[in-house]
Copies of this chain bind each other. A is one copy, B any other.
Amino acid sequence: MNPLSTQPYKGTRDYYPEDKFVQNHIFNVWRKVVERFGYQEYGAPTLEPLDMYAAKSGQELVNEQTYTFTDRGGRNVAIRPEMTPTISRMVAARRQELAYPARLYSIANFMRYERPQRGREREFWQLNVDLFGVDAITADAEIISIADAILKEFGASDGDYVIKVNNRHFIHYTMTQYLGLDEVQSLQMIKLLDRRAKVSNEAFREQAILIFGDDSRIESLEALLNAQTIDQLPEALQLSDALDELKKLFSLLAAQGVTAVVFDPTLMRGFDYYTGSVFEAFDTHPENNRSLFGGGRYDGLVGLFGAEPISAVGMAPGNTMIENFLAVHDLLPLYRSTTDVYVVVIGDAYEKAASVATELRRAGVNVEIELSARKLDKQMKTALKKRIGYAMFVGAQDDTDYVLKNLETETEQRLTADDIVRHLAS
């Protein structure tokens, strides 16, 4: 028989302890920040019926990127490619029982069949933060504040990232009233704007003229694209009610000290379910100049499950993008073992050593113990390789104190078990 491959499935990662340490750091920061804002954790199934995504997630995701199959009972299912439809389903199922505002979060894995590349893996982890039952723009401001607070908690400064903000009502108004496009043309223009960074200026202009039918509105389009703030928008747009939500949102964010936000009239976001505010955080580092994560308001999704519509706004940072962000900004944590001390066993003292280890564990110390009675240098090599902070040496049966060695400073002390507990706690 040929040996089995040791490679992980294409586009996925094995997380060895050093890798898992980084992932846990990301998870811990996410968890800390969202709980600080009063969000409660939920969990959900890995599989969902495929038709749940067909409704609103966008054709590319459903037709090309979902992992979909028929189960042994004939059901068409998908490995979840995102959480938003699932949490909408869960809220719809308990819409009467839940207390609103319902502030919910999860940290979960997802799969998408994409070409693996930097910052994109077929299996990835996301924090999903969602707020249900609040129609007011205060909810949109809270979600964007959390996006900002998360990046700050990772150690980032304002200049390291920018959060671009737009609004689907405003986009609709711009397309139909300001640019005079019909529904079909609007969708084409939205898709073109979404791709703008990926095409040349010339190609962009040509395709825009194709959508308009002539070049008479190109200048209006360019005036829109050149606006970096609400104040720089063409006057015809300045006066529109469709800007009210955006103005209120920026005012709330300013009051809450969120300064890394800018208006971007071309920000579209891919998912079909967004209905109001949309936003996306971008890394500003020259080596990683890309989208980090985004979110927005999606008021229509809960209603697809037969319940009355419930207002919703949320976002979903992923682990891969965040890890790249931390790497280029030198914000990754240094690995350290969760183990406090390696018990080095001298000679045949295993039973004595095991009983000291038990004593230390009962006092809250994380203890690894030698099991194979190897030579002392081999045991020490293990402790060092694992980057454990301390080694302690247990030998003769009747000792009541032991050498504790700090493996970083290489200093040694002779201490009782009680003193070792105190020393490691401090």
Contact = CB atoms under 8 A, between A and B. Distances in A.
A23 interface: yes
Contact of A355 (B123, B255, B338): B255
Contacts of A127: none
B89 A4 contact: yes
Interface in A24-41: 24, 35-38, 40-41
A130 to B, nearest CB: 13
Contacts of A15: 42-44
A42 B113 CA distance: 24
Interface in A356-407: 358, 361, 364-373, 381-382, 385-386, 388
Nearest to A255: B351
A372 B136 contact: yes
Interface stretch (A101-109, A187-195, A200-208): A101-109
A46 interface: yes
A5 interface: yes
A111 B48 CA distance: 13
A421 interface: no
A119 interface: no
A410 interface: no
Interface in A270-310: 304-307
A92 interface: yes
Interface stretch (A64-72, A159-167, A209-217): A64-72
A172 B13 CA distance: 39
Nearest to A131: B371
B49 A305 contact: no
Contact of A5 (B35, B103, B305, B351): B305
Contacts of A72: 113
Contacts of A366: 35-38
Contacts of A16: 42, 90, 94
B45 A13 contact: yes
A94 B339 CA distance: 21
Range for the number of chain A residues in contact with chain B:
35 or more
A71 B113 contact: yes
Interface in A62-105: 67, 69-73, 75, 77, 79, 89-90, 92-94, 99-101, 103-104
Contact of A8 (B45, B338, B386): B45
Nearest to A69: B69
Contacts of A134: 371-372
Contacts of A257: 358
A324 B38 CA distance: 29
Nearest to A134: B371
Nearest to A108: B109
Nearest to A17: B40
A337 interface: yes
B256 A93 contact: no
A14 B90 contact: yes
A371 B138 contact: yes
B305 A4 contact: yes
Contacts of A42: 14-17, 19-20
B304 A3 contact: yes
Contacts of A412: none
22 contacts: A3-B305, A3-B306, A3-B307, A4-B51, A4-B52, A4-B305, A6-B93, A6-B307, A7-B93, A12-B45, A14-B44, A16-B42, A37-B361, A38-B342, A46-B46, A46-B123, A134-B371, A134-B372, A139-B371, A255-B354, A256-B355, A257-B358
Given A14-B42, A35-B338, 11 more contacts: A4-B305, A5-B89, A14-B43, A24-B41, A37-B366, A38-B342, A46-B46, A46-B123, A71-B113, A138-B371, A252-B351
